Chains A and B, each alone.
Chain A
Amino acid sequence: MSCAFEEDLTAWVDGELPPPHRARVEAHLGTCAECQGTERLLRLTVARMAELPAFTPSPSARRELLARVDALPPTWRERFAHLLRPGVLVPSAGLAAAVVLTLLVAGRTRVESPSLEEWDPGALEVAANLELVEDYEVLGLNSSEDLEVVENLHELGVP
Chain B
Amino acid sequence: MDWDPDTQAMLKVAAGDKQAFAWLFDRHHASVARFAFRFVGDAARAEELTQDIFVKLYRHARSYKPTAKFKTFLFRVATNHCLNEMRRGEYRVARLTAEAPAEEDVGAMRMPGPEGDRPDQALSGRELEAAVGLALKDLSDRERAAFTMCRFEGMAYRDIAEALEASEAAVKSLIHRATLAVARRIEALQAGTVPARSRA
Contact = CB atoms under 8 A, between A and B. Distances in A.
Interface of A: 6-11, 14, 16, 38, 41-42, 44-46, 48-49, 51-58, 61-62, 64-66, 68-70, 72, 75, 77-78, 81
Nearest to A9: B176
B22 A62 contact: yes
B172 A10 contact: yes
Q: Which interface residue of A51, A61, A65 has the most chain B CB atoms within 10 A?
A: A65
A11 B176 contact: yes
A46 B180 CA distance: 10
Contact of B173 (A7, A16, A58, A81): A7
26 contacts: A6-B176, A10-B175, A10-B180, A11-B176, A14-B150, A16-B156, A41-B180, A41-B187, A42-B183, A45-B182, A48-B186, A52-B125, A53-B125, A54-B34, A55-B33, A55-B46, A56-B30, A57-B30, A57-B33, A57-B47, A65-B25, A66-B18, A66-B22, A69-B18, A72-B55, A81-B16
Given A10-B176, A45-B186, A48-B186, 6 more contacts: A7-B173, A44-B119, A44-B183, A45-B182, A61-B50, A69-B21
A137 to B, nearest CB: 69
Interface string B126-155: 001100100000000000000000111000
Contacts of B26: 62
Given A10-B175, A51-B125, A53-B125, A44 B150 contact: no
Given A16-B156, A44-B119, A72 B173 contact: no
A69 B58 contact: yes
User: Which of under 10, 10 to 19, 20 to 34, or 35 or more describes the interface residues of B?
Assistant: 35 or more
A6 B120 CA distance: 22
Contacts of A48: 128, 186
B169 to A, nearest CB: 10
Contacts of B18: 66, 69-70
B30 A46 contact: no
A42 B30 CA distance: 27
B132 A49 contact: yes
B47 A58 contact: yes
